[in-house]
Amino acid sequence: MQRVTLRLPEQQLKMIDRFVELGEFPSASEAIRTAIRDLIDHRSEKLAGRIQLFEKAQEQAKVAGSYLHMKQGH
């Protein structure tokens, strides 16, 4: 595992510490790792949906281009 240094607003750090105090996470590091993992999972799902839409639009553009090419060539 790599070490990363980051700056957080004091309020966010207090909330992370509170989660640890309440036993939600064993450490602040684990809380932050979980938050990052959740963010990556969420963003990956959104990105996958956008990629599918883009690929569908590309395919439709190809079909439309072929149709126009055939129509112009008679």
Domain boundaries, the chain: 10-73
Confidence (pLDDT) at 74: 55
Give the integer Cα–Cα distance in Å for 74 and 70.
6
Strand, helix or coil for residue 48: helix
Is 56's pLDDT higher than 70?
A: yes
The pTM assigned to this predicted structure is 0.62
Q: Rounded mean pLDDT of 28-36?
A: 97
